[in-house]
């Protein structure tokens, strides 16, 4: 009995403090958790959360879910709480009012491996490192002046595309593939100072493809070993190593050339030259390592490669499906060309309808329909809801671009609506977010738009475009989408061309 009592006393002495500390803590935790006003959520499965609800076209599935749960909803991508925003008002809260709180990026497996531990601009966390990189890119690589300096590269490559179309008049040509080569060539020349070749193309394609693979570890961290088991991590490491060796080679070539020729003038310098200059110049205030330089170049491929070409593919498909719009556009460009054989960049300023056509196409077919995911870095109150730190945020810009409360007959391709609106590309109008907005907004707008406008103007000026005679009417052109790194057409756009003069 005495032994029993002493054991009891011992247990009470041990557990009483534990109860006294833990029970109130658990109570406080539950109280606040239950009291937190979280956004509405659909029912979720254990482990995978709501991932099964994303389907093959997440922008569409999320739009459908938002029609039921509202413009701010909380989903779980595996164990990662993910806020999905589908109205212009909510997007403004994220991208403007609370921009700094949502300016970080989630930690994802593939970008981590491919981009030197996310040491690039697109995926690095918000902070001083990212700020420096973004300034370098905005001031030195993608500024208006720099984009203007690349005018001859664009004109040459677009001239080549026009020649191919001219040589193939009457036969079926794969316009999607031609747009891909056009942007590839321009990006390679701008970034590396050399034209594309088969090997490099293969490498870049492998690199971009890696971003489309699903990594379990990004969403269910305790299952990250599965990414090793499936070979995903191994494959990503191989691609990263091959690309790194390639970039090292190109950078060394640039260093050797500079040592041979000295710095005569800045003319004709590519992005690697410019970055090497900044790295050497102590007065710029930027110090960075070799891996940062390589990560920036990779970002140029990542951000620039498919965005402009797939946007051109969509806009041309819309024009072929809407002959009246095509005629109106051809009328505008012909009036400005006044019989000259080619249109140059100075002509573009006056082409208001052309700009409206491109904006309308970007509204319906946003290349990055869900922008790039962001992450909250502190607790914040958003439109009455409590959003905890570490929540991933997805802005469904595609759904906002088709919101019937913002756009009359949103499914209709009607460029005229952009003649009435004074929308620019900079993301200050939250109902149209093709390039994102705020601190993490796209720095490549001028670069991308310059390619699209000049290519489109010259193609429609020189040629009438039709569909190969397979019995498909222009209004029945297949417009199905394929979701990927960039939203593109499921089937390539095959066309026939005939000269207009």
Please report how close the Cβ of residue 264 comes to ligand HEM at its closest, in angstroms.
26
- By rule CB under 6 A, what string of x and - marks binding of each residue 101-130 to ligand HEM? --------------------xx--------
Strand pairing report for 392-395 and 80-85:
parallel
Kindly tell me which of 220 and 348 has the beta carbon lying closer to ligand HEM. 348
Q: Are 406 and 88 in contact (CB under 8 A)?
A: yes
Phi-psi region of 263 (alpha: psi -120 to 50; beta: other; left: phi over 0): beta
388: number of Cβ within 10 Å: 15
Kindly tell me which of 153 and 220 has the beta carbon lying closer to ligand HEM. 153
437 binds ligand HEM (CB under 6 A): yes
444 binds ligand HEM (CB under 6 A): yes
Q: With CB under 6 A as the contact rule, which of the stretches 13-21, 249-257, 282-290, 307-315 interacts with ligand HEM?
A: 307-315
Please report how close the Cβ of residue 358 comes to ligand HEM at its closest, in angstroms.
9
Kindly tell me which of 99 and 347 has the beta carbon lying closer to ligand HEM. 99
Please report how close the Cβ of residue 430 comes to ligand HEM at its closest, in angstroms.
11
- By rule CB under 6 A, what string of x and - marks binding of each residue 267-306 to ligand HEM? --------------------------------xx--xx--
Largest CA distance in the chain: 112
Token output for 477: 């052109």
Q: With CB under 6 A as the contact rule, which of the stretches 148-156, 163-171, 436-444, 466-474 interacts with ligand HEM?
A: 436-444
149: burial class by Cβ within 10 Å (0-12, 13-18, 19+)? middle
Measured CA to CA, the distance from residue 284 to residue 209 in angstroms comes to: 35
Beta bridge partners of 464: 498
Beta bridge partners of 83: 74, 393
Kindly tell me which of 85 and 276 has the beta carbon lying closer to ligand HEM. 85
448 binds ligand HEM (CB under 6 A): yes
Among 113, 434, 493, 495, binds ligand HEM (CB under 6 A): 434
Among 435, 461, 463, 483, binds ligand HEM (CB under 6 A): 435
Please report how close the Cβ of residue 119 comes to ligand HEM at its closest, in angstroms.
13
Kindly tell me which of 124 and 496 has the beta carbon lying closer to ligand HEM. 124
Measured CA to CA, the distance from residue 456 to residue 326 in angstroms comes to: 11
In 3D space, the residue among 215, 175, 265, 86 whose CA is nearest the CA of residue 496 turns out to be: 175
Task: Kindly state the DSSP code that residue 407 receives in the 8-state scheme.
Answer: S
312 binds ligand HEM (CB under 6 A): no
Measured CA to CA, the distance from residue 351 to residue 345 in angstroms comes to: 11
Q: Which of residues 339-368 bind ligand HEM (CB under 6 A)?
A: 367-368
> Is the Cα torsion angle 308, 310, 315, 316 positive or negative in sign?
positive
78 binds ligand HEM (CB under 6 A): no
39 binds ligand HEM (CB under 6 A): no
Measured CA to CA, the distance from residue 303 to residue 478 in angstroms comes to: 26
Q: With CB under 6 A as the contact rule, which of the stretches 8-16, 206-214, 276-284, 434-442 interacts with ligand HEM?
A: 434-442
Please report how close the Cβ of residue 61 comes to ligand HEM at its closest, in angstroms.
19
Please report how close the Cβ of residue 459 comes to ligand HEM at its closest, in angstroms.
16
Among 44, 96, 131, 134, binds ligand HEM (CB under 6 A): 134
Please report how close the Cβ of residue 407 comes to ligand HEM at its closest, in angstroms.
18
In 3D space, the residue among 119, 121, 146 whose CA is nearest the CA of residue 133 turns out to be: 121
Q: Are 291 and 299 in contact (CB under 8 A)?
A: no
369 binds ligand HEM (CB under 6 A): no
The helix/strand/coil state of 139 is helix
In 3D space, the residue among 322, 96, 88, 111 whose CA is nearest the CA of residue 218 turns out to be: 111
Kindly tell me which of 71 and 467 has the beta carbon lying closer to ligand HEM. 71
Beta bridge partners of 395: 85
Kindly tell me which of 396 and 437 has the beta carbon lying closer to ligand HEM. 437
Strand pairing report for 481-482 and 494-499:
unpaired
Token output for 290: 């070799």
In 3D space, the residue among 395, 381, 345, 300 whose CA is nearest the CA of residue 58 turns out to be: 395
Kindly tell me which of 446 and 496 has the beta carbon lying closer to ligand HEM. 446
The verdict on whether residue 442 carries a ligand-binding annotation is: yes
Query: How would you list the strands of the sheet with 72-77, edge to edge?
Result: 72-77, 80-85, 392-395, 374-375
Kindly tell me which of 132 and 206 has the beta carbon lying closer to ligand HEM. 132
Please report how close the Cβ of residue 95 comes to ligand HEM at its closest, in angstroms.
6
- By rule CB under 6 A, what string of x and - marks binding of each residue 137-176 to ligand HEM? -----x----------------------------------
Residue 1: its H or E element: none
Token output for 178: 């031609």
| 3-state per-residue secondary structure call for 164-205 | HHHHCCCCCEEHHHHHHHHHHHHHHHHHHCCCCCHHHHHHHH
Positions at the binding site for heme: 442
Residues at the contact surface with ligand HEM, assessed by CB under 6 A = 121-122, 134, 142, 299-300, 303-304, 307-308, 311, 367-368, 371-372, 434-437, 440-444, 447-448
Positions at the binding site: 442
């Amino acid at each position: 009995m005495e032994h029993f009592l002493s054991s009891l006393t011992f247990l009470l002495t041990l557990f009483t403090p534990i109860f006294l500390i833990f029970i109130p803590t658990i109570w406080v935790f539950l109280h606040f958790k239950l009291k937190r006003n979280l956004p509405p959520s659909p029912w979720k499965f254990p482990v995978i959360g709501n991932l099964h609800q994303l389907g093959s076209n997440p922008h569409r599935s999320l739009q459908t879910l938002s029609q039921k749960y509202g413009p701010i909803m909380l989903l779980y991508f595996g164990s990662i709480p993910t806020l999905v925003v589908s109205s212009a008002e909510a997007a403004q809260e994220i991208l403007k009012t609370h921009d700094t709180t949502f300016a970080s990026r989630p930690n994802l497996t593939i970008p981590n491996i491919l981009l030197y531990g996310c040491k690039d601009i697109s995926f690095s966390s918000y902070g001083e490192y990212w700020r420096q990189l973004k300034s370098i890119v905005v001031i030195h690589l993608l500024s208006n002046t720099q984009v203007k300096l690349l005018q001859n590269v664009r004109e040459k490559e677009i001239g080549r595309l026009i020649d191919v179309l001219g040589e193939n008049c009457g036969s079926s040509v794969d316009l999607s593939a031609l747009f891909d080569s056009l942007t590839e060539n321009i990006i390679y020349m701008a970034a590396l100072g050399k034209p594309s070749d088969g090997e490099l193309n293969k490498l870049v394609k492998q690199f971009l493809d890696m971003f489309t693979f699903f990594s379990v570890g990004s969403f269910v961290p305790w299952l990250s070993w599965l990414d090793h088991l499936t070979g995903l991590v191994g494959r990503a490491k191989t691609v990263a190593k091959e690309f790194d060796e390639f970039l090292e080679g190109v950078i060394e070539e640039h260093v050797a050339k500079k040592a041979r020729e000295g710095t005569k003038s800045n003319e004709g310098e590519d992005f690697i030259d410019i970055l090497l200059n900044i790295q050497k110049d102590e007065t710029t205030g930027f110090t960075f390592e070799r891996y940062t330089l390589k990560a920036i170049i990779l970002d140029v491929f990542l951000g620039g490669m498919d965005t402009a070409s797939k946007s051109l593919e969509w806009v041309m498909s819309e024009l072929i499906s809407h002959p009246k719009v095509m005629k109106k556009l051809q009328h505008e460009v012909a009036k400005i060309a006044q019989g000259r054989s080619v249109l140059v960049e100075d002509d573009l300023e006056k082409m208001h309808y052309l700009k409206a056509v491109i904006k309308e196409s970007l509204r319906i077919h946003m290349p990055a329909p869900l922008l790039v995911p962001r992450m909250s870095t502190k607790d914040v109150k958003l439109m009455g809801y409590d959003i905890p730190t570490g929540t991933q945020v997805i802005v469904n810009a595609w759904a906002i671009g088709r919101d019937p409360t913002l756009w009359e007959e949103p499914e209709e391709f009607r460029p005229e609506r952009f003649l009435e609106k004074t929308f620019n590309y900079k993301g200050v109008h939250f109902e149209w977010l093709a390039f994102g907005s705020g601190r993490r907004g796209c720095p490549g707008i001028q670069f991308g738009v310059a390619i699209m406008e000049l290519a489109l103007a010259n193609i429609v000026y020189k040629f009438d475009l039709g569909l190969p005679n397979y019995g498909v009417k222009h209004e029945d052109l297949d417009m199905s989408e394929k979701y990927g790194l960039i939203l593109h057409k499921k089937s390539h756009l095959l066309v026939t061309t005939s000269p207009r003069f």
